[in-house]
Copies of this chain bind each other. A is one copy, B any other.
Amino acid sequence: MNLQAPVPPANRPPRIEVIGVTGMPEITEGDRLGGMIVSAAEGQGTPVETDDLLVVTQKIVSKAEGRTVDLDDVEPSESAQKLAEETGRDPRMVELVLRESRAIVKTDSRRGIIVTETKHGFVCANAGIDTSNVPGDGIVSLLPERPDESAARIREQVSEELPGVTVAVIISDTFGRPWREGHVNFAIGVAGINPIKDYRGTPDAYGEILRVTSIAVADELASVGELVSAKAIGVPVAIVRGYGYEQGPDGVGALLRHRSMDLFR
């Protein structure tokens, strides 16, 4: 039996509730997201409670932090122009991708794909820069500069708004994966929850020691959020209730495999 997660008695099965937060207003630079989430959740009759975990989609965080760029203001460098030509992409967009990245991981000229390692250490297409769900023609959103701090800030704002209430916050974004079709949501910022649940060294159901498994629960929770927040339907935040997360050390760093340990770059 796992010491961290004792089996609930048969009459109390483990249960998690995931609630989409609707009714958030259009987000603009400087908005205090924590407060707005608390109000919107209250307004729909599902107030934020202590030990809730909030999954907040990247787009509203970037907007609140002014991380949007008008492509018309971008002057592509020579290397951006070269890569843009190779991949058939907008040179201004490629310029932003290069600025936001510390390494190019892979490009596919035929399909116009540029996979990079962002300055944060995320490996994803286009450095996470996105043209959807941003108001205005030619306006794109960049990832938050320090998503762990963004998550911590929202977490603090919630506690300021609701004294005595402590939550965890995950900022999520939608990335593709090698080998699998379809995108899923990943954690890009983590506050108040250990993003990894480590089963190594704990006995399995037959008393054998589990040697390999540590679970990226923050990524799984980001995916859970996506199922209610979904694209383009005005639900940018999910409340996950009843998941007994471990408060432990937070930050997204524990989820990022070091280059030297990675077989696929």
Chain A interface (Cβ within 8 Å of chain B)? Answer: 1-2, 5-8, 10-11, 13-23, 43-46, 106, 108, 113, 115, 122-123, 131-135, 174, 177-186, 195-197, 199, 202-206, 208, 210-217, 219-221, 223-224, 226-228, 230-235, 243, 254-257, 262-265
Contact = CB atoms under 8 A, between A and B. Distances in A.
Contact of A180 (B179, B211, B256): B256
- Copies per complex of this chain: 2
B224 A220 contact: yes
A13 B43 CA distance: 10
Contacts of A122: 179
B10 A22 contact: yes
B235 A180 contact: no
A100 B203 CA distance: 27
A203 B133 CA distance: 9
Nearest to A216: B182
